[in-house]
Structure 1
């Protein structure tokens, strides 16, 4: 296994292309305003708007970290513009592409999911800002297995289900409050429904979800084998 395996997010791609499209569009818009009659200014306004959107997309892409994942011999680091989390290989219980039931079929989500062994070891290595962002961005996951309104006595189950308590106590007795507790409660809820604690969108990867899952499994296996060999020696 390499010392560091770097995974580049798809979101980071084509930054220069987006900038060029935006600049070319603005140039064409300027020419349109100077050449066409006022009755056709709507074309120039459309080009200007589209160009500004392209430049905005380029700016969003530019703000993303150069690499979304760093895989070392001891841990995984996930990087996001709002922060990062770190997870030791030894703390991973299972990794796979999550699936949900739709009718009689199982549908794979375009995500990679990880089930961890210890919440405490993980919570201490997640940026608070990233926790907040994940709580907001991953709300749609709750809708995958949300309780039916028909089985809800109050009729407020959906809105109540989106809220997380700000107190959490793990199996070892460690207590958490605030954003850490809310994040831990969300992981607990997702584990109960989908079987996993951490979810990463496929757009954060440089390959398919299944290929990334296989990479993580291979890396973890090599790390565990290497650790076992060191202990024997």
Structure 2
């Protein structure tokens, strides 16, 4: 009987305290409601502001609660990134490099809140990412394009979204959100050197520690080949 492969599930720090926020908002709402029954006329503006604040707190907690339980799953075969809009997955053998992203802006060295992944071949993503997530990531990664333009790695024209078909090595043409994302990833690779970007908000530890974990998993994967 084959042994079950080990899995490291990562729960994003940004998703913590979801239930706490919703419960806090409900308790505050009930307290405010009781107070409003007697003092609504005297404190109408203040109470309205408090109600709106409670609504914001509840929605924030609900948004966290509706996120996938785990943002990332690491196993000897590869890595799976989970998002509310879908997922992408990549085998360790398909990865060329994993690294922190450091850039020089003027005289200052800055560390971007991402871990970059350079693939051996971009085209593998055509069948390994959800179309809905592909479309979403194009919008979420706009700050990376803006930075590349600011650093003069790209021109404004090069950063424009392409809706042309993407030609795979097999000769197959990909269209729609997947094609747009593959063009987008190609442009980011040209500018920043990576195809995929794991945001710091999806991690459960510091950037340096998480990057080390990914590299260790990638190195250890050969033991399960």
Give the TM-score, by structure 2 length.
0.90
Evaluate the alpha carbon distance shift between residue 197 and residue 16 of structure 1 in structure 2; reply closer, same or farther with a 3 A threshold: same
1:196 aligns to 2:194 (yes or no): yes
- 2:138 aligns with 135
Deviation of 1:100 after TM superposition, in Å, equals: 2.1
- 1:40 aligns with 43
- 2:108 aligns with 105
Contact 1:113 1:199 in 2 (8 A): yes
Deviation of 1:106 after TM superposition, in Å, equals: 2.4
The DSSP-based 3-state class of the residue aligned with 1:86 is strand
Q: Which among 106, 112, 117 is matched to residue 114 of structure 1?
A: 117
- 1:230 aligns with none
Give the TM-score, by structure 1 length.
0.87
Deviation of 1:158 after TM superposition, in Å, equals: 3.4
Q: Which among 63, 68, 72 is matched to residue 65 of structure 1?
A: 68
1:176-195 equivalences under 5 Å are 176-195=174-193
Contact 1:5 1:70 in 2 (8 A): yes
Q: CA RMSD in A?
A: 2.2
For structure 2, the 5+ residue unaligned runs are none
For structure 1, the 5+ residue unaligned runs are 228-233
1:221 aligns to 2:224 (yes or no): no
1:210 aligns to 2:213 (yes or no): no
Pick which of 137-146 and 25-34 moved more. Answer: 25-34
